[in-house]
């Protein structure tokens, strides 16, 4: 049986410090300022949110509009917290996020493994990463091996001929990252780090046992759906699907020749993912698209609305199923799904997803923070809340953090590359 994997340490016992986090989504930009490192859970001291028009499918397409929304959200959070911030930890879901594994091994010649060996190993692991022209977003140690034996939790002090490390590497297209960082820089903010959105959301909505047994987090945003697969307590793969809940809105607007704002209300108030027998007769009123008073409202059966929603959900979940399968999320240990993101607020979407993917599905709301404002307790803020938890933990990133003689606690797992990690036991 796989060892039970703890969540990354939350930095307790360290002096309290202030962090600022930013989630730049396709529909809204949101920010939190929080205190971390004290005795309890991170405490939110300021928050802000602005609608965002400068992004398409998580990618910055209008730097000025994105900058305005970022500045607005940060200003609000700064005012509420009564402090000024200089840099933010920010989520990133664009640039075709993709996972790979890098492995390295060093010679120990039967001696006992020292902290210096661990530093050498991390350096060798870093050198083994080939980003192939893309930008490395994360390089997270997944597991250690001793003489080829996987699943070693803490090699320090043990004897081995060879010590190995496997690293989960997440990369993204460099131009997408550059445009994104430009929009943040234009808002006069530094970036203390980028976090792949689904990894941030995972921190806020998944529990330890789910991550241990095997779970896929699916964040359905407005323009993007992002996925993170976990097993043995560690993230083993991320992927994105360039489709989201705003596509449902657009489909409704097109199908019933109405405005986006009306289609949005139809989706959120009258829509559902699964039709009921009453939907055949239950009427839904579509107000006229123009406001000149000439046109009449149109009456449709709710089943027609659900039909339009279902057509798009079939497309979206078809893509999700393909992504899950390419991440190796198959078999008896791949039965749990947690849906989050604003798109998961669609009525009966968990039932639909459960049937479509043949899995147990629950909706995940952010938790683990004190003082999160009620307005940001919903699924749309899972990534935002997760960023604070990400900042509070030590991820042991070998690409972005310098190697020290005191390596962070290993992230245990069994197997080797993603396939080994996912499918070996
Ligand atoms: N009750 C609801 N039913 C259906 N969809 C909803 C509901 N509430 C919100 N949504 C949808 O959720 C989407 C916004 O979700 P979210 O805030 O997670 O996206 P985002 O982070 O801005 O975008 P992305 O992550 O794609 O860049 C919108 O398309 C909105 O219509
Ligand atoms: Mg989002």
Looking at the fold, whether 113 and 224 belong to one and the same domain comes out as: no
State pLDDT tens for residues 148-157: 888 787 889 9
Q: Is 28 in the pocket of ligand 1 (CB under 6 A)?
A: yes
Mutational test site, ligand 1, from 50, 217, 343, max ligand atoms within 8 Å of CB: 343
Q: Is residue 263 part of a domain?
A: no
Alpha carbon distances (Å) from 173 to 54, 95, 188, 399: 19, 5, 24, 17
Name the band, by pLDDT with cuts 50, 70 and 90, for residue 91: very high
Q: Which helix (H) or strand (E) element contains residue 117?
A: helix 115-127
Does the structure show a pLDDT above 70 at 408? no
CA of 374 to the centre of ligand 2 (A): 18
pLDDT at 400: 83
Q: Looking at residues 15-43, what average pLDDT do you find?
A: 93
As a whole number of angstroms, the distance between CA 198 and CA 241 comes to: 12
Task: Return residues with CB closer than 5 A to ligand 2 (ion).
Answer: 25, 221
Best CA proximity match to 252, nearest among 336, 181, 170, 311: 311
CA of 26 to the centre of ligand 2 (A): 7
Q: Which helix (H) or strand (E) element contains residue 362?
A: strand 360-363
User: Which residues are bridge partners to 60 per DSSP?
Assistant: 55
* Polymer length in residues for the chain: 425
Does the structure show a pLDDT above 80 at 13? no
Looking at the fold, whether 106 and 231 belong to one and the same domain comes out as: no
Q: Is 58 in the pocket of ligand 1 (CB under 6 A)?
A: yes
What's this model's pTM, rounded to 2 decimal places? 0.91
pLDDT at 23: 97
Q: Which helix (H) or strand (E) element contains residue 51?
A: strand 43-51
Q: Looking at residues 47-63, what average pLDDT do you find?
A: 89
Strand order in the sheet with 162-172: 98-107, 162-172, 135-146, 149-152
Q: Is residue 2 part of a domain?
A: no
Q: Is residue 385 part of a domain?
A: yes
CA of 320 to the centre of ligand 2 (A): 16
Looking at the fold, whether 149 and 34 belong to one and the same domain comes out as: no
Looking at the fold, whether 344 and 211 belong to one and the same domain comes out as: yes
Q: Which ligand is closest in space to the CA of residue 250?
A: 1
As a whole number of angstroms, the distance between CA 284 and CA 273 comes to: 15
Does the structure show a pLDDT above 80 at 287? yes
CATH number at residue 340: 3.30.420.40
Looking at the fold, whether 229 and 354 belong to one and the same domain comes out as: yes
pLDDT at 342: 98
Q: Is residue 301 part of a domain?
A: no
Best CA proximity match to 230, nearest among 412, 96, 42, 41: 412
Q: Is residue 192 part of a domain?
A: yes
Number of domains in the chain: 2
For all residues of the chain together, what is the average pLDDT? 89
CA of 117 to the centre of ligand 2 (A): 40
Looking at the fold, whether 320 and 373 belong to one and the same domain comes out as: yes
Q: Is 176 in the pocket of ligand 1 (CB under 6 A)?
A: no
Best CA proximity match to 30, nearest among 380, 402, 275, 264: 380
CATH number at residue 107: 3.30.1490.110
Q: Which ligand is closest in space to the CA of residue 240?
A: 1
Q: Is 342 in the pocket of ligand 1 (CB under 6 A)?
A: yes
Does the structure show a pLDDT above 50 at 10? no
Q: Is residue 251 part of a domain?
A: no
Does the structure show a pLDDT above 70 at 134? yes
Looking at the fold, whether 82 and 191 belong to one and the same domain comes out as: yes
pLDDT at 11: 47
Q: What is the DSSP string of 304-318?
A: HHHHHHHHHHHHHHH
Q: Is residue 277 part of a domain?
A: no
Contact indicator for 411, 204 with CB cutoff of 8 Å: no
Range name among 198-212, 236-250, 288-302, 362-376 with the lowest pLDDT average: 288-302
Q: Looking at residues 183-190, what average pLDDT do you find?
A: 92
Alpha carbon distances (Å) from 24 to 72, 78, 94, 347: 12, 17, 10, 25
Q: Is 59 in the pocket of ligand 1 (CB under 6 A)?
A: no
CA of 88 to the centre of ligand 2 (A): 17
Looking at the fold, whether 230 and 319 belong to one and the same domain comes out as: yes
Looking at the fold, whether 56 and 87 belong to one and the same domain comes out as: yes
Looking at the fold, whether 37 and 158 belong to one and the same domain comes out as: no
Percent of the chain residues topping a pLDDT of 70: 90
pLDDT at 31: 98
Q: Looking at residues 392-406, what average pLDDT do you find?
A: 75
Looking at the fold, whether 153 and 72 belong to one and the same domain comes out as: no
Q: Is 246 in the pocket of ligand 1 (CB under 6 A)?
A: yes
Q: Looking at residues 94-121, what average pLDDT do you find?
A: 94
As a whole number of angstroms, the distance between CA 122 and CA 106 comes to: 10
Q: Which ligand is closest in space to the CA of residue 224?
A: 1
pLDDT at 105: 96
pLDDT at 411: 46
Does the structure show a pLDDT above 80 at 402? no
Q: Looking at residues 194-205, what average pLDDT do you find?
A: 97
Q: Is 410 in the pocket of ligand 1 (CB under 6 A)?
A: no
Q: By residue range, what is the domain housing residue 237?
A: 17-95+174-244+314-392
State pLDDT tens for residues 315-336: 999 999 999 999 999 988 899 9
Q: Is residue 292 part of a domain?
A: no
Q: Looking at residues 165-191, what average pLDDT do you find?
A: 93
Ligand 1: nearest atom to the Cα of 197: 25
As a whole number of angstroms, the distance between CA 140 and CA 149 comes to: 19
Alpha carbon distances (Å) from 270 to 40, 154, 340, 345: 41, 54, 20, 12
Alpha carbon distances (Å) from 407 to 16, 17, 86, 109, 266: 22, 22, 28, 21, 53
As a whole number of angstroms, the distance between CA 246 and CA 305 comes to: 15
Phi/psi for 276 (5° steps) reads -110, 165
């Amino acid at each position: 049986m796989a060892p039970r994997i703890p969540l990354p340490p939350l930095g307790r016992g360290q002096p309290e410090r202030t962090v600022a986090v930013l989630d730049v989504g396709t529909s809204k930009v949101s920010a939190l300022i929080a205190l971390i490192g004290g005795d309890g859970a991170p405490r939110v001291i300021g928050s802000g949110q602005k609608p965002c028009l400068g992004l398409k499918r998580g990618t910055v397409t209008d730097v000025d509009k994105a900058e305005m929304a970022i500045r607005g959200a940060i200003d609000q959070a700064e005012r509420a917290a009564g402090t000024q911030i200089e840099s933010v930890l920010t989520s990133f879901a664009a640039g075709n996020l993709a996972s790979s594994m890098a492995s390295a091994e060093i010679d120990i010649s039967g001696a006992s493994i020292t902290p210096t060996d661990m530093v050498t190993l991390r350096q060798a692991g870093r050198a083994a990463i080939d980003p192939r022209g893309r930008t490395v977003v994360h390089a997270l140690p997944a597991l250690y091996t001793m003489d080829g034996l996987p699943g070693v939790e803490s090699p320090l002090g043990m004897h081995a001929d060879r010590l190995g490390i496997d690293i989960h590497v997440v990369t993204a297209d460099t131009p997408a990252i550059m445009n994104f960082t430009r929009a943040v820089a234009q808002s006069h903010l530094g970036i203390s780090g980028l976090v792949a959105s689904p990894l941030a959301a995972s921190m806020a909505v998944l529990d330890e046992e789910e991550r241990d047994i095997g779970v896929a987090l699916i964040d359905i945003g407005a323009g993007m759906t992002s996925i993170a697969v976990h097993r043995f307590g560690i993230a083993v793969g991320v992927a994105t699907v360039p489709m989201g809940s705003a596509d449902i809105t657009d489909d409704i607007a097109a199908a019933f020749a109405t405005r986006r704002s009306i289609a949005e209300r139809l989706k959120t108030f009258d829509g559902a993912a699964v039709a009921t027998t009453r939907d055949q007769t239950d009427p839904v009123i579509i107000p006229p698209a123009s406001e000149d008073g000439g046109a009449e409202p149109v009456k449709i059966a709710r089943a027609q609305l659900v039909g339009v929603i279902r057509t798009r959900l079939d497309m979206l979940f078809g893509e999700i199923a393909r992504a899950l399968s390419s991440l190796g999320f198959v078999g008896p240990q791949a039965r749990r799904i947690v849906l989050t993101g604003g798109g998961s607020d669609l009525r009966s979407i968990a039932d639909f997803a459960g049937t479509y993917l043949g899995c147990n599905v629950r909706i995940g709301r952010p938790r683990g923070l004190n003082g999160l404002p009620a307005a940001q307790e919903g699924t749309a803020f899972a990534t935002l809340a997760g960023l604070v938890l990400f900042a509070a933990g030590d991820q042991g990133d070998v690409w972005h953090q310098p190697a020290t003689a005191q390596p962070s606690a290993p992230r245990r797992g069994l197997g080797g590359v993603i396939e080994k990690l996912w499918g070996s036991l």
